[in-house]
Amino acid sequence: MRFIKPDINIDIISKRKIAFYISITIILVSFLSLIIHKGPRFGIDFAGGTLVQVKFSSPVSIEDMKSGLDAMGLEKSSVQAFGDKKENEYLIRTDKSVVTDQGLSLRVKKALESAAGNNVEIRRVEMVGPQVGEDLRKKALFAMFYALLFISIYISGRFELKWILSGVMAVSLMSVVYFLSLLDVSIPFLIGVALVITLILFWVLKLKYAMGAIVALMHDVIITVGIFSILDKEFTLPIIAALLTIIGYSLNDTIIVFDRIRENLRKHHKNTLEFIINRSINETLSRTILTSVTTLVVVVSLFVMGGGIIHDFAFAMIVGILTGTYSSIFVASPILLAWQGHGKKK
């Protein structure tokens, strides 16, 4: 199926500087939002605490609900409408890790019914201790970091035949990060420094394909996390799953373009690298857009009809698919041109 002509020739590479400025602007805004909000707004999974989902038989006011919670000792609880307004469902969050097997559901039910004068159904109760939440945050960061490193080994081996070099580099970085994590070092800071060192090593060792792929993946993850921060959405375990899925999706798009660049380097070796990259992107443009559109149809359906539980996961996937498609065209491949300029200067 083709809705884009096979001989299309859009001058994408000449617009790479504009694309870079747009990406840098969005990333800076994302970092600014994270600084203002002091990081992502972690959900129960990462921050610890207790979450109770309740459903009323008729509309109630949040003030009445809070007064009932105050009466049972949950003064600092937050109450948020959940799902469709007609369903009269609410999420109650507290930073206290209330033991759920000591009649919590019954006590919440009685307190809310007394305060709101309405029948209450307890839909679910979740409790995560603060230590467990901290451990989950660390494991989530390590999961994304190790995923990026293993991807770098694959890209370097497949496109540059540097399996041993990239493998030794990745194992060394993982070992250093692991042992430093055993000390009293901030894990986010440690992962951030490790990623910067990784990019520097890619440049020094001339792993240009790996660097292009990793920069594009970091671009997608940062923007997705930044948009969640800007919109003040909760960061939970399903969002980590979405980010890892986005990494895989974006990498697949990037590899398709890289494969075509490698083929065209042999076919059109007399042409400039800029011409070859631009031609490769145009030749894979139809496939890229079709894949993105069909995937978006599914994810948007989940977002609209999947209910509140899966709403944020679907939203993260929508943002990730859009940014992943954009980065595979305007970020990953144009980075290869940086080596051309570097080689001329050298």
- pTM here? 0.83
Residue 221's pLDDT is 92
Question: pLDDT digit string (tens) for 79-118?
Answer: 878 777 777 888 888 776 655 545 777 788 888 877 777 7
Where b means 16+ CB within 10 Å and e means fewer, 292-321 reads beebbeebbebbeeeeeeebbbbbbbbbbb
Share of the chain above pLDDT 90, in %: 13
- Sign of the CA dihedral 153, 158, 160, 164? positive
Helix (H) or strand (E) holding 90: strand 89-94
Fold of 49-128: Alpha-Beta Plaits (3.30.70)
Tell me the Ramachandran region of residue 242: left when phi exceeds 0, alpha when psi lies from -120 to 50, beta otherwise: alpha
Residue 186's pLDDT is 76
Residue 107, burial from CB neighbour count under 10 angstroms (0-12, 13-18, 19+): middle
Strand 89-94 and strand 78-82: pairing?
antiparallel
Share of the chain above pLDDT 70, in %: 92
At 137, the pLDDT band (50, 70, 90 cuts) reads: confident
Please give the CATH superfamily to which domain 13-43+132-141+216-345 belongs.
Answer: Multidrug efflux transporter AcrB transmembrane domain (1.20.1640.10)
Q: Is 38 helix (H, G, I), strand (E, B) or coil?
A: coil
Residue 30's pLDDT is 92
Sorted by sequence, the CB contacts under 8 Å of residue 291 that are 6+ apart come out as 253
Q: What residues does each domain of the chain span?
A: 13-43+132-141+216-345, 49-128
Residue 341's pLDDT is 55
